Amino acid sequence: MSCACATDIETLAAAHGAALQRTARQVLVCAGTGCLSAGALAVRDALVREISLAGLPVAVELRREPPAGSTLVGISGCQGFCQQGPLVTVLPDGLLYCRVRPEDAAEIVAETLVHRRPIARLQYRAPDGRRCRGQDDIPFYARQQRVVLAACGRLDPESLAAYCHAGGYRQARRAWRELAPASLCQLISASGLRGRGGGGFPTGRKWEACRIQRGERKFIVCNADEGDPGAFMNRSVLEGNPHSVLEGMMIAAHAIGASEGWIYLRAEYPLAVKRVRRAVAEAERAGLLGDDVFGTGRSFRIRVMEGAGAFVCGEETALLASIEGKRGMPRPKPPFPAERGLWGCPTVINNVETLAMVPLILEMGPEAFRARGTPGSPGTKTFALTGHVVNTGLIEVPFGATLRQIIFEIGGGVLMDGEARGVEAFKAVQIGGPSGGCLTREHLDLPLDYDSLRGVGAMVGSGGMVVMHQRTCMVEVARFFMSFTTAESCGKCVPCREGTRQMLAILEDIVHGRADASAIERLEEIAGVVQVASLCGLGKTAPNPVLSTLRYFRDEYLAHVRDRRCPARVCKALSPPQISAERCKGCGLCLRACPVQAIRGEKRQVHVIDEARCVRCGACIAACKLKAIA
């Protein structure tokens, strides 16, 4: 279907709706990065082939008018349940099939499309053993409130017409034609929307600060430089519903008086880059972006820039420097970007999720938006749920949800030894990535929002959430995040450049058994300096994972430096070998090989290692022919 006139959104929507009505059924294959890597496109091709072989009319996407009564085999963005991909949704039947393979296509066609029977083995099996028909029955979905993500799993992300049919660009048109910039800023302020990129700064205040600046040239910048380990929220929104972000940018541009927009997107997200560029090109061809936006005589254009992968470019002033062609390094504030940003012009920087929220707020109204969440943190938040949890994936919950609800209801429990476990297996969750902190069992019922997390030494961040079970070494977790931060420091300021390096060196000494008790004191002292004296927010928050693990798991640090022992048996230098009772036959080879007589045991009986005497030389491991020692 071709894009018709410049602002005739209804024409696009009506044409798409008419084409959709000619289909009898839709089969949507999840085409987010996770499902694509698991073979989703091969599943789609197999479905198209099997439908054709069955003699049924088939349409691949709604690019042209489909045959009457045909089955549409299309793609959607990330449907969230990444653990169960590739996912296939059948509408209007409301069926969701999990872990679908190309060889399942023939059965789906014969059973579901021809005889309208669900295939039990492809349906999700709930913990109580029942088979779930669709999203409404699956606990993973049923416990969420998907607002920003609602359209990602049902829209064709590569179709402007599909977005318009779902109501897209109406709010941008309303904003440009009917709302004054000051009124628009007040509306967003009234909603209580706070930036979803980590800091939680009120979006309306940021827009207003830029709106009142003088200057003919202003910019709106979308920060899509998502770099936290284990985070993929922004990527999924851009892959699944890129036009929602463009519409949010258009509304923000009108509010502040900008005529130019930039999307700064990680080059490591090739699918998101492709779909965003396609969305911008479609919007330009349709006249939605250009010299006469919605017939107002004013212009607005969007450019896409691929970042080189520097974590520091997630900091707004470093991001602006990168767009300008300079090395991505932060600068002191004030002046803030709203006063003096890109090329010295007033600039608003919002992240992907924040901008995608904006059209929805205009559609539902600020009061309805505030009905979700908490008074200080209204609305919902997306999280990438990963780590030792049964159901990994992309989720969206209202602010105020608790870790217990997220991990044990949506996530299905803690995964340990290949099984779903309860609270007894839970140790901690790292929230907010390298800038965040750890939460423990005592925080399971803490309502999560910007203020409550800040009070316990953590932060929402962009939304990464890594669950850890009891056999996780928290010192090693701190070392991992500090290693990441040290490598990603831009090096501009001494506290961050040298302080993170010194903290990493101390943590390396601790996990390798080279540190004494004074190391903990030095670690805390340097962390405090880095927190206070670093130039930008990334440096100031770099010590958070270390400080939060010291706060809640100090006994593990003490075990490493005083007892020379890693309680979780993760740090090899501090984990004496153990003899497997199942494999040991009592042959005595390890006993004779031990140079310090740390092994005892009778012949043909299971031997035991005295951890206090063991020097970790590895002689017993080398001597054991049954591989019973590890």
Whether residue 328 lies inside any domain: the answer is yes
pLDDT of residue 5: 40
| 341-395: pLDDT as tens digits | 999 999 999 999 999 999 999 999 999 999 999 999 999 999 999 999 999 999 9
Nearest CA to 586 among 626, 614, 615?
626
pLDDT of residue 578: 86
- Peptide bond preceding 334: is omega within 30 degrees of 0, i.e. cis? yes
Helix axes 270-285, 242-256, angle to 10 degrees: 60
541 has pLDDT over 60: yes
How far is Cα 150 from Cα 486, in angstroms, rounded to an integer?
37
104 has pLDDT over 80: yes
Please count the structural domains in the chain: 5
| 48-98: pLDDT as tens digits | 999 999 999 998 877 667 888 899 999 999 999 998 999 999 999 999 999
Question: Are 462 and 493 in the same domain?
Answer: no
Asked if 97 and 30 touch (Cβ cutoff 8 Å), the reply is no
The rounded Cα 82 to chain-centroid distance in angstroms is: 12
pLDDT of residue 1: 38
pTM of the model: 0.90
Question: Are 220 and 315 in the same domain?
Answer: yes
User: How distant, in Å, are the alpha carbons of 263, 277, 280 from that of 273?
Assistant: 10, 6, 11
Sheet holding 301-307: strands in order across? 301-307, 260-266, 219-224, 347-351
213 has pLDDT over 90: yes
Max CA pair span of the chain: 93
Mean pLDDT, residues 237-246 taken together:
96
Mean pLDDT, residues 252-262 taken together:
97
Whether residue 499 lies inside any domain: the answer is yes
pLDDT of residue 3: 39
pLDDT of residue 6: 46
Question: Are 290 and 276 in the same domain?
Answer: yes
Q: What is the CATH number of the domain that holds 593?
A: 3.30.70.20
Which of 452, 472, 492 terminates a domain? The answer is 472
pLDDT of residue 63: 67
Provide the percentage of residues in the chain whose pLDDT is more than 70: 99
How far is Cα 58 from Cα 42, in angstroms, rounded to an integer?
16
Question: Are 453 and 488 in the same domain?
Answer: no
Whether residue 375 lies inside any domain: the answer is no
> In angstroms, what is the C-alpha Rg of the chain?
27
Mean pLDDT, residues 250-273 taken together:
95
Whether residue 566 lies inside any domain: the answer is no
Question: Are 285 and 356 in the same domain?
Answer: yes
Which of 369, 400, 434 terminates a domain? The answer is 369
How far is Cα 453 from Cα 381, in angstroms, rounded to an integer?
14
Question: Are 607 and 548 in the same domain?
Answer: no
Q: Both tokens of residue 620?
A: 């017993």
Count of CB atoms situated within 10 Å of the CB of 268: 14
pLDDT of residue 615: 81
| 312-345: pLDDT as tens digits | 888 899 999 999 999 999 998 899 999 999 999 9
515 has pLDDT over 70: yes
- Peptide bond preceding 229: is omega within 30 degrees of 0, i.e. cis? no
Question: Are 464 and 510 in the same domain?
Answer: no
Which of 439, 472, 505 terminates a domain? The answer is 472
| 553-598: pLDDT as tens digits | 999 999 999 988 899 988 988 888 889 888 999 999 999 999 999 9
Q: Both tokens of residue 559?
A: 């075990």
* Contacts of 29 by beta carbon, 8 Å cutoff, 6+ apart: 35, 40, 41, 43, 44, 47, 73, 74, 75, 76, 86, 87, 88
546 has pLDDT over 80: yes
- More confident of the two residues 455 and 2: 455
Nearest CA to 115 among 93, 143, 88?
93
pLDDT of residue 128: 86
Q: What is the CATH number of the domain that holds 99?
A: 3.40.30.10
Whether residue 567 lies inside any domain: the answer is no
pLDDT of residue 573: 84
Question: Are 320 and 440 in the same domain?
Answer: no
| 262-300: pLDDT as tens digits | 999 988 899 999 999 999 999 999 999 999 999 999 999
Residue 583 domain boundaries: 577-630
Mean pLDDT, residues 431-442 taken together:
89
Whether residue 21 lies inside any domain: the answer is yes
- Helix (H) / strand (E) element for 70: namely strand 70-76
Q: What is the CATH number of the domain that holds 549?
A: 1.20.1440.230
